[in-house]
Chains A and B, each alone.
Chain A
Amino acid sequence: MRSETLTNVIEACRFCFMCRHLATVGNVTFRESDTPRGTALILDKVRRDPALLQCADYVECLYRNALSGACRKHCVSSYDEVGLVLAAREDIVAVGAAPKAVAVLAETLERTGNPFGAAARTGAKRRAATTADVLYFVDPYAAHKQPEIAAAFLAAAKALGVKVLPVEGVDAGKALLVLGYRDQAAKAAKRVRKLVAESGCKTVVTSCPACFDAFKNDYPRLGAGFGAKVAIEHSGAFLLKVLEAKKPKISKRGKAKVFYLDSDFLRNYNGIVDEPRALLRALGLALLPFGTNPEESCACGEGAVVSDVLHPGVVSLLRARVEELADDPAHDTLVVASPYTKHVLVSGVRPLKVKTLDEVVAERIG
């Protein structure tokens, strides 16, 4: 079992409570099992009796995890509680114990390249027909739920004089990987690598933090790394660099005060905290601290990539938590780095005012 390679994490976390204030799902479901301690206790039982991988209650809990990485980032020893759950999911898939909803979702991802089962949009470029220095990878949430994000990035790039080749309708494989389908994720990764190689690009940019993390960290482990000559950037960091280099005129239109909600993949997985904030400040915005603390995940399940499809009830609670933490949810402008998070936050009964970094840039320099 893959989870056996992380026995040190099981032994460290099974009786440790020191990060439970940051247990993203546990904070809204109030379940003991939705904490790193709870999952480590489960996997401690499983390692003694692998037949328990078939226990539907245990499996359900392991798939409810939002994988935010907030607890791992907080831990003074950085025990990889996220890696443990991912390994356990692979074990679950390997023994054929994945819940039906997970299996159906994986099949949908393989078949359509997105979690919604949607057909590719008309005109979407799935192949690198031309070459370009910069390839812009559009994720399913930006493609099918929040098309204004990709439009904003492309508009900003054009205004800044950067030629970009957009590509969408191709699955990055990240969702398959977090669901436990490693082999299928590796195939997807190799397809993307081929596409990147054909484009001849020097930089791959994406507005999707999950895709960014996949390209940067997962692909090399899956044998599909882009190589040292291709830079990988989240659109926020990319636009910041271009802004700093080109120093365009910044518009003073729009609200001057904004709150930035960190992305799980950028902050907790890749330690990217300053760049998004620097970008917003470079755009002349006054940045206010969101919520009560800088550690809690407010990305609404971004770490699990497709949480809203698999666990809409939990995601609804996560969204309510963001609303609860906001100073003035009806009026505050929240800026996020993730199409997924924007999709969740604007989909509630009382939609919040949310923009991505790309949209803010497009507004301020357009």
Chain B
Amino acid sequence: MLPTRDSYMSEMIRSELADAVGDEHVLVDEAEKLGHSVDYYWMAEMWHDRGMRNPTPDFVVRPGTTEEVAKVLRIANTYKIPVTPWGGGSGSQGGALPIYNGIILDVKRLNRIIEVDPVSMTVKVESGINTQHLEWALEKQGYSTMHYPASIACATLGGFLAHRGTGVLSTKYGKIEDMVMSLEVVLPTGEIIKTLPVPRHASGPDLTQMFLGSEGTLGVMTQATLKIHPIPECRKFHAFLFKDMTTAMAAGRGIMLSRLRPCVVRLYDEPETKRLIKRVLGIDKAGAYLVFGFDGPREMVDFELARACAICREGNPEDLGTELGELWWQHRYKFFYPPFMFHLPQAFGTLDTVATFANIEKVYWAMKNTVEQNFTGVAYIGHFSHWYEWGCMLYARFIMDEPPQDPREAARLYNKIWDQAIRAAIREGGVINEHHGVGLKLGRLMKDLYGPAFVVLQGIKKTLDPNNIMNPGKMGFEGV
């Protein structure tokens, strides 16, 4: 039982937390509680919008060192207080919401770049750093993480680590889990550990990969060593318009199976080409818009670009040229700014999933049919934006222009769409998420995805976090 907020016990805990991190870093003011009550999850936004009360933290605690994180977790263990890590707060899955109140562990003060190693091309950095700030600092020295997500301006590195995030250059440079060399982690019980210094080894299972994507349920990742890259000599783009998504998919698949190494491949289905490519880029054409890019030494880029274009031309597309490819690159983040991004009163959700080339179109159609046939007034659009040698990611979205006004009714309908669409994806070989994570939104579907294997995850959680203080109720794990 948590102490009530107006009890002296609450003040006792506050004093102990202040002793650990400094009085000015234990916040209880209303402005800060409000700021930590809503993340980028539609449900929390809608709840706020309808005048409902979102759960708020009892304390916003802001450690400045790894040791301070450890102290806070030990205190939380003593009193069995839920701890919810918070970075930029821009997650879309509700993973950072303090659903059981307790402590919000805001890690933004952990923002130091500890070391740039130019010999191995790595950077050791604290996890609370704003990723745009990290990228700017590296660019000044001639390097880049090549991690360019739409949320680069707002999310912390820890957020990407916690949710296995990805950026627009992932097709060449990988997702965040491909970029990490090693981690420093504070376990739920307060021990500080480091994973092995290199990501390739035969020294047992990979602890680094176990913590990546754990969404604050297994501890707090306080430092990471990342690979970095030289700024490429050039980066070029090209765009085509195909008659339909299937023909364009064949072209994209052809590029990947040829083992060319594009940094970007992005294919928009016909509805999204009509709706968003027109609105954001001003390209008013019917069909499926495909853009790709290459970077590196100029001669190599020109060669690969020409080969990729040749592969595309086999599908008889309209050649939109370099200019309309560059246009996408220049405006790649514009899609996410208001008013271009979907927003209330609309209900919307990103059903991102990933599957092999053999399955990805089946996943697309299964979700699309589920959404459009079972829910009146709900549109489905999608694009394929992170490509692998074996398949690609589908960034599908549903949009409901007029959801119910009653917040409970809206929540029920919203969850029903998610349940049915995600289960349809799983049946066709998809997963519940590709790069936004699970959080509160999709936790209930983890058992559907993992089946008996979910017991393994539950066992790890129970072993590392015996008092279940770390982000309880998320990822399908037990609540308080």
Contact = CB atoms under 8 A, between A and B. Distances in A.
A and B together in one complex: yes
Contacts of B412: none
Interface string B110-151: 000000000000000000001011001101100000000001
Contact of B106 (A19, A30, A75, A79): A30
Contacts, number: 100
B57 to A, nearest CB: 11
B40 A41 contact: no
Interface string B36-79: 10101000010010010000000000100000000000000000
A208 B32 CA distance: 34
B109 interface: yes
Interface in A1-21: 11-21
Interface stretch (B203-211, B225-233, B334-342, B464-472): B334-342
Nearest to A292: B136
A45 interface: yes
B403 to A, nearest CB: 15
B293 to A, nearest CB: 21
Contacts of B108: 30
Interface string B10-42: 000000000000000001011110111010100
Contacts of B62: 30
Nearest to B42: A15
A345 B31 CA distance: 29
B348 to A, nearest CB: 12
B334 A38 contact: no
B130 A293 contact: no
Contacts of B30: 55, 57-58
A61 B35 CA distance: 11
A249 interface: no
A22 B32 CA distance: 19
Contact of A17 (B40, B48, B109): B40
B338 A12 contact: yes
Interface in A28-57: 30-33, 35, 37-38, 41-42, 44-45, 48, 55, 57
Contacts of A16: 337-338, 341
A23 B376 CA distance: 41
B90 interface: yes
Interface residues of B, number: 42
Contacts of B140: 292
A293 B136 contact: yes
Contacts of A30: 62, 106, 108-109
A232 B329 CA distance: 39
Contact of A48 (B45, B51, B155): B51
A30 to B, nearest CB: 4
B31 A18 contact: no
A32 B35 contact: yes
Contacts of B139: 292
A314 B338 CA distance: 29
Given A17-B89, A21-B154, A292-B136, A33 B32 contact: yes
A51 to B, nearest CB: 13
Contacts of A55: 30
Contact of B337 (A18, A44, A57): A18
A76 B334 contact: yes
A20 B35 contact: no
B25 to A, nearest CB: 9
B61 to A, nearest CB: 12
B153 interface: yes
Contacts of B34: 33, 38, 41-42, 45
B357 interface: no
Given A57-B30, A76-B337, A77-B339, A17 B88 contact: yes
A198 interface: no
A235 B125 CA distance: 42
A13 B40 CA distance: 12
A61 B338 contact: no
The residue among A20, A32, A79 with the most chain B CB atoms within 10 A of its own CB is: A32
B329 to A, nearest CB: 15
A60 interface: yes
B339 A32 contact: no
A21 B130 contact: yes
Given A20-B154, A30-B108, A57-B31, A41 B338 contact: no
Given A31-B32, A292-B140, 7 more contacts: A17-B90, A17-B154, A30-B106, A41-B34, A41-B48, A44-B48, A55-B30
19 contacts: A11-B344, A12-B339, A13-B338, A16-B341, A17-B154, A20-B90, A20-B154, A21-B154, A31-B32, A32-B35, A35-B35, A41-B48, A44-B48, A58-B31, A60-B31, A76-B337, A77-B339, A292-B136, A292-B137
